[in-house]
Amino acid sequence: MVKVDRRIIRTQEAIKKAFLELMAEKDFDSITIQEISDRANINRATVYLHYLDKFDLLDKIIEEHVKNMSDLCEAEADLDWIEGTVHCMEYLERNYLFFSTMLASEGARYFRSRFVQHHIEEFKKDVDITKGKNLGQNEDIVVEFAANAYVGVVEWWLKNKMPYPPRVMAEKVGDLLERIL
């Protein structure tokens, strides 16, 4: 395994943080690489050393968080809905700037659909239409409903500055998900 220089990691983190702060302030289309580099207090060429352009930067940030959420879901496969959801809510809380910006920003519209798609894939693992409460239902409709409901509640929670702690949200959302899935 190749060890990455800590300076590179710090620089990339500064770039991502600057970019997200700018996205929270203004539309994605109006953000420039110069603004990102100024905010990160680095040279413009340094941004290009790590990313092709702002689209690549956005894509890499989204991929990082989607992968982290996937890894988190896989690690929690043996937990019940509520405990698994607690970890997800805590991850959302730790990464509030990213998720609140992505879900509220017009410039990152496609993030929401990718976030929903991630949850559709995760919920498909848990839905059973051959028995119980979903007997006779259409699997696609059940998982679409659950994923969109979940993302909608997360969006509401973040846009309202997380009015409930992660555990309370997890208990409420986990209970609702158990009723659906």
> Which amino acid, one-letter code, is at 37?
S
Identical topology for domains 1-51 and 59-180: no
pLDDT at residue 78 tops 80: no
Torsion of CA 40, 46, 52, 56, to 10 degrees: -30
The average pLDDT across 89-109 equals 83
DSSP codes joined into one string, 10-75: HHHHHHHHHHHHHHHHS-GGG--HHHHHHHHTS-HHHHHHH-SSHHHHHHHHHHHHHHHHHHHHHH
Model confidence at 11, pLDDT cuts 50, 70, 90, reads very high
Please tell me the predicted confidence (pLDDT) of residue 1: 64
The yes-or-no verdict on residue 42 having pLDDT over 80 is yes
Q: Cα 14 vs. chain centroid, distance in angstroms?
A: 19
- The pTM (predicted TM-score) of the whole model is 0.81
Which CATH architecture fits 1-51? Answer: Orthogonal Bundle (1.10)
Indicate the domain borders of the chain: 1-51, 59-180
Q: How high is the pLDDT of residue 77?
A: 65
Q: Which overall architecture, per CATH, does domain 59-180 show? A: Orthogonal Bundle (1.10)
Residue-wise pLDDT tens digits, 44-55: 999 999 999 999
Cα separations (Å) of 84 from 52, 114, 122? 36, 20, 12
What angle is formed at CA 153 by the lines to CA 152 and CA 155, rounded to 5 degrees? 65
pLDDT at 135: 85
Residue 120 tokens, joined: 């559709």
